[in-house]
A and B are shown apart, each in its own frame.
Chain A
Amino acid sequence: MSLTSWLDKHLWAIPPLVFLAAEAGLLAWSKKSHSPTLMASTPLTARQQVYGSLTGSSSALLGLALAAVAILAAFGPRPDPTGREPKLAHARTLLVGSLFAASFFLLVILVDATLALAMDARSTGNIAIVTILESSILASVVGLLLGGLGLALVIKERAQS
């Protein structure tokens, strides 16, 4: 089984893998450069504004992701003599997995950004808080894009049938 085929069958695993890869990359970059990188290098006031913005946007996106899960759950199996419906129902369940994984990372962003508002008050950003935040952003964006693309295909398939 190829990697893409495996990932297609385990969509929930993509956001965590993206998170781990991004976290490892960012930590390695930070260690190699010996100076703050990306958000950690920005001034405190700008960083605090970003944290505040992220708490709002992540909670909004969390609601959006859970709404997409609700839409997919509402597409119950139809009576279908061709035998395609069980496979489509299984595909929808896989998409829900991707959206749940994205929701988890949106939750991480929400908690991390909220903690950062209170704790990250130095001139350079806290490396742990910042890298977790950046990696979670990347993971949730990937998960949401996959879930969104899948949802679009589900709706199109429904419209055609």
Chain B
Amino acid sequence: MVTRQLVFYRWTSIERRPPFVPGSVFSNLQTKITRDPDSSIVENDEVTTATMVAEAGSPTEPAKVQLLALRGPDSRPSRWKPGEPLGPLPLRDDQYPADVTHVMMWPDGIAAQDLHANAPRLGRLSYYLRHQVNAYVAFEPLYQADMLERLKQLRGQIRLVELSMTRPEYIADDRGAFATLIPSVYGQRVPSVSVHLGMGRRGPRDRFIDGATEEAVFQIAEDAHDYVDRLVVAGRNRRTGKTERINLLNERLQEKVDVAPRRDVPALPDEQLVFDLLAKSYITFQADGQFERAIRAQATRAR
């Protein structure tokens, strides 16, 4: 079985841009890709992305899309066997190793994807649609309803923040002489950030992180959720007086599922099963009223 996390978002149109209509956008995209399959790839200096539209959707039906993070000839992994040196993967230049995530977008503003370690995030789908069909959409993660209450209890009494981001795939390829030679001799510097803010275990127990820093942390949760690998806040709960830790990334509206793998590619889940599970989770969350209660990322900020 292949384990996946089904994560839910709210999608919105962007101000001063034409309204985003999933059925129409994905229908246009499907037509464009059918006419010229090579045009399904969007490549920039940093990443290569493609999509396959399974169902374009309609005003009542969700759109179903496979979003692919591709690795071009310059960034593909190598092949290795014990006792043998590294070798190239036997792929042609027009073939790509691909990490896939399945995305569904419902007309009521809910979107979901099956998330795993190498899955492209939905920010990448926004970028892709902007470049392919000039359609603008933003995705915001949805959080469990009780998270805001728990965060409110910590507000003003946060003693620890842990945040990390690592993005090895964002190393620029087009570099100059010294920017190539120095890392090749002294080691590659991968773009990464790891921040640990704390008041110290031996310090006074009533000392807390200041308001501006606290606000910046919540801003990251809102604006940079696609890039953060870890975002934990800990502080004293005003009501109970006890220390509480909240991992913001674990508080999303999500569900862990096991999916039967494809027979020909054991690492990939069966796509139809994933779409079925996404639809099933959507119906369950909707029936429970979770989407109405769920908190959008902006709610975490005090304004």
Contacts and interface: CB of A to CB of B under 8 A. Distances in A.
Contacts of A92: 177
B184 A8 contact: no
A146 to B, nearest CB: 8
B86 A91 contact: no
B200 interface: no
A81 interface: yes
B87 interface: yes
A88 B73 contact: no
Interface stretch (A104-112, A115-123, A129-137, A149-157): A149-157
A157 B85 CA distance: 19
Interface in A74-112: 81-84, 86-88, 90-92, 94-95, 98
B75 A81 contact: no
Contact of B181 (A5, A9, A81, A154): A154
B287 interface: no
Given A88-B181, A91-B181, A9 B76 contact: no
A83 B176 contact: no
Contacts of B185: 153, 156-157, 160
A150 B78 contact: no
Given A81-B86, A82-B86, A87-B173, A8 B178 contact: yes
Given A8-B176, A81-B86, A95-B177, A88 B75 contact: no
A10 B174 CA distance: 12
B179 interface: yes
B75 A83 contact: yes
B83 interface: no
Contact of B177 (A83, A86, A91, A156): A91
A87 B86 contact: no
B86 A150 contact: no
Given A81-B86, A82-B78, A83-B75, A8 B179 contact: yes
A150 B177 contact: yes
A157 B181 CA distance: 8
A22 interface: no
B178 A153 contact: yes
Nearest to B79: A81
Given A81-B88, A87-B173, A87-B175, A150 B181 contact: yes
Contacts of B79: 81
A90 B75 contact: no
B168 to A, nearest CB: 13
A8 B177 CA distance: 6
A144 interface: no
Given A8-B175, A83-B76, A153-B185, A90 B86 contact: no
Contacts of B76: 83
Interface in B144-184: 173-182, 184
B292 interface: no
A40 interface: no
14 contacts: A5-B175, A10-B176, A11-B177, A81-B78, A81-B79, A83-B73, A83-B75, A83-B76, A94-B176, A150-B181, A153-B181, A153-B185, A156-B185, A157-B185
Given A81-B86, A90-B180, A149-B178, 9 more contacts: A11-B177, A81-B87, A81-B88, A83-B76, A91-B176, A91-B178, A92-B177, A94-B177, A153-B184
Interface of A: 5, 7-11, 81-84, 86-88, 90-92, 94-95, 98, 149-150, 153-154, 156-157, 160
